């Protein structure tokens, strides 16, 4: 699974002019399931997201997690994170999970996040979304959880 974490002062997602998810200070997380991903990658990714120390402590060092500050988590599905741009000018998305599997893993991640964190908002899977954010810092962190090798 791939995630792009953005530390935000506020963020919201709109679908057809209606806000479907919004947070104040916290993390906007763009999420993409790739072919071969499972619940194990989603669990590992969520654990990393919740523990990433990318918020400032009293000394101004990035030393606190979204859990430490009681911040919001806005999870937004974005299959384009799996873009392959190596062959020409039109990206390919063959590494993204099939839509049904992507939806299943996204919903699983959201369910697990809501069980682990008090403030979780979402976008709408497969919708044409407008994402508004005030990036704090800016701080943007890419993450990838590879499937476990057997």
Quick one: how many helices (H) and strands (E) in the chain?
3, 8
Cα–Cα distance, 53 to 67 (Å, whole number):
9
Is 80 a catalytic site residue? yes
* Beta-strand runs (E) in 25-81: 26-32, 55-56, 62-64, 72-77
Backbone angles phi, psi at 119, to 5 degrees: -125, 95
Catalytic residue among 80, 95, 122, 130: 80
Cα–Cα distance, 126 to 104 (Å, whole number):
12
How crowded is residue 106: how many other Cβ atoms within 10 Å of its Cβ? 25
Of 122, 116, 77, residue with least CA distance to 100: 77
Catalytic residue among 6, 52, 79, 122: 79
Catalytic residue among 78, 93, 122, 124: 78
Is 78 a catalytic site residue? yes
Is 124 a catalytic site residue? no
Cα–Cα distance, 84 to 63 (Å, whole number):
33
Catalytic positions, please? 78-80
């Amino acid at each position: 699974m791939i995630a792009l974490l953005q530390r935000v002062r506020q963020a919201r997602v709109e679908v057809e002019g209606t806000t479907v998810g919004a947070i104040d200070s916290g993390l906007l997380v763009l999420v993409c399931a790739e072919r071969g991903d499972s619940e194990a990658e989603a669990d590992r990714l969520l654990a990393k997201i919740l523990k990433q120390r990318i918020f400032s402590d009293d000394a101004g060092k990035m030393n606190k997690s979204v859990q430490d500050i009681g911040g919001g988590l806005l999870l937004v599905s974005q299959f384009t994170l799996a873009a392959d741009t190596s062959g020409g000018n039109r990206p390919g998305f063959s590494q993204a999970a099939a839509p049904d599997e992507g939806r299943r893993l996204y919903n699983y991640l959201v369910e697990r996040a809501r069980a682990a964190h008090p403030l979780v908002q979402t976008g709408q899977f497969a919708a044409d979304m407008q994402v508004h954010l005030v990036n704090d810092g800016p701080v943007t962190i890419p993450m990838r959880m590879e499937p476990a090798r057997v």
